[in-house]
Structure 1
Amino acid sequence: MGTADFTFGLEHRTAGTTLFLLLSGELDIWADGELAPRAARLIGAVRPEVVIDLHHVTFLDAGGLRLLLGIRHRVADRQGTVRLVRAHGQPHRVLRLTGLEREFDVVRGEPDDGGGQGPAVLA
């Protein structure tokens, strides 16, 4: 038995009532299986707004879309909102080509923590 060599990651922090998620690496079916339960626990901590930073995502496929949509669904169940920030390259193209760019509030600039502290998610 070896150790898993993860090609993806999830970091988080909060500012007020906002949960910031920094996703990284390759978001595929494996990432969905590993990260969805972690994201669900974080969202279950009563955050009405979630900002997902995609700056460090290098690959997005159907599994990664399932992860993003699952997060959106959980947040919507709590009457919250989800914003995607800093999507670029292949992940942005996938969001655009699938039409999901219209389903999320997609912001191309830096996330801000609302307190004028600059980037809310450390890159």
Structure 2
Amino acid sequence: MGTCDIPFTLHHHVADGTTILELSGELDIWADHELAARITALLDRPHLDVLVDLRGVTFLDAGGLRLLVRISKQTVQREGTLHIVCDSPRLRRILHITRLDRSLPLLDTSPAALAAHGEREVTA
């Protein structure tokens, strides 16, 4: 029997009260299916501040968009705030075409903006 390489990852941590979800790889229907329950559990508390880091995402389709909308809805229901770090022009274009850039707050990826949200600068 062959092995199955999972093409996506989720790492999370809390910095200064903000829950940081670092997503990477391919966010598709499989990622949505596999990560939905885990993310729901991570965000199951009131007055939640969430930063979703998409800098490691290489692919985004309807399943990945559904996952982002789910995170947004859960954050709003918990009376929290949401910010999304996205430095990929391709992903920003997808968010723009689907008009999700109007409801998902995209954060500037400058070091000062990231530091303000407890995120460390990523260097190559």
**Would you say same fold, with TM above 0.5?**
yes
Structure 2, unpaired ranges of 5+:
none
TM-score normalized with structure 1 length: 0.86
**Which residue is equivalent to 1:112?**
115
Matches within 5 A, 1:50-65: 50-65=50-65
Q: With the length of structure 2 as denominator, give the TM-score of the two structures.
A: 0.85
Other-structure match for 2:92: 92
Matched pairs, number: 121
**Gaps in structure 1 of 5+ consecutive residues:** none
Matched residues, percent identical? Answer: 44
Runs of 4+, deviation exceeding 2 Å: 1-4, 110-115, 120-123
Shift of 1:121: 8.0
Residue equivalent to 2:11:
11
What SS is found at the alignment partner of 2:115? Answer: coil
Q: Which SS does the other structure have where 1:4 is aligned?
A: coil
Partner of 1:32: 32
1:79-98 superposed Cα distances (whole Å, 9 cap, x missing partner): 01111113413221110111
Q: Is the 8 A contact 2:55 2:86 kept in 1?
A: yes
Name the residue aligned to 2:20: 20
CA RMSD of aligned residues (A): 2.3
